[in-house]
Amino acid sequence: MNVLRFADRVASRWKNGGGITWEYAVHPPGAGLDDFFWRISRARVVGHGAFSVFPGIDRSLTVVDGDAIDLLMTDRRVRLDRTTPPYRFSADQPIECRVPSGPIEDLNVMTRRGHWTHRVARHAVTGATRIDLDGDVGLVVALARLRIETETGEAGDLEPGDAALFETATTVALSPRQGTGEAIGIRLDHVAHPWA
């Protein structure tokens, strides 16, 4: 278990310069915004504007702080808030965003189409909660103060915004350190090609 403290993340500009992002992990390590195979990050959206375009990338967005964000696409408008499931879309397309009630923060999971794929889910943590991270890579992001324990007995405390990264399939147990909590579970899978 590799614990990634949010306090240790370094802020950087969006690809289009329109906002701030904090990277949790990227593959391959050290990859930039144009050559990654997968990337997990948290972003702050403070006003209306355009999302960055990432050709060949599938993306999931989950609101983790603040009220709501509207995504304005060519064929639809989607509103996301702290209660909606992660929303998956193609990052190839131009998208305008609106934050009608003020700044929000979102969790972004991006994978390069044809090479990697991903699944993202919200998990309410009201007691001992098991999350199966049965992909090639798994990540849990805490949205509250949580205790995490692995199948092998590793354990630790996560603060809001902290993450735990796993490079093998596993199951983790989460429990709230006070009241109730919430976490985001992410599964990343390498796409196997028949000629490989």
Query: Does 124 have pLDDT greater than 80?
Result: yes
Q: Any idea which of 14-18, 35-39, 52-56 has the lowest mean pLDDT?
A: 14-18
- Do residues 102 and 65 touch, judged by C-beta distance below 8 A? no
Query: Does 136 have pLDDT greater than 60?
Result: yes
Output the pLDDT for position 195.
Answer: 58
Local confidence band at 193 (pLDDT 50, 70, 90 cut-offs): low
Give 66 or 13, the one with higher predicted confidence.
Answer: 66
Of 184, 154, 147, 182, which Cα lies nearest the Cα of 168? 154
Residues 101-112 pLDDT 10s: 999 999 999 999
Task: Print the SS3 string covering the chain.
Answer: CEEECHHHCCEEECCCCCCEEEEEEEECCCCCCCCCCEEEEEEEECCCEECCCCCCEEEEEEEEECCEEEEECCCCEEEEECCCCCEEEECCCCCEEECCCCCEEEEEEEEECCCEEEEEEEEEECCCEEEEECCCEEEEEECCCEEEEECCCCEEEECCCCEEEECCCEEEEEEECCCCEEEEEEEEEECCCCCC
Residues 55-94 pLDDT 10s: 999 999 999 999 999 999 988 999 999 999 999 999 999 9
Residues 180-192 pLDDT 10s: 999 999 999 999 7
- Environment class of 15 (CB within 10 Å of its CB; exposed 0-12, middle 13-18, buried 19+): middle
Local confidence band at 194 (pLDDT 50, 70, 90 cut-offs): low
Output the pLDDT for position 130.
Answer: 95
Residues 148-163 have a mean pLDDT of 95
Output the pLDDT for position 190.
Answer: 94
Of 47, 45, 42, 23, which Cα lies nearest the Cα of 33? 23
- The contacts of residue 163 (CB under 8 Å, 6+ apart) are 3, 4, 6, 24, 25, 40, 139, 140, 141, 142
Q: Any idea which of 9-18, 21-30, 59-68, 162-171 has the lowest mean pLDDT?
A: 9-18
Query: Does 196 have pLDDT greater than 70?
Result: no
Residues 128-148 have a mean pLDDT of 96
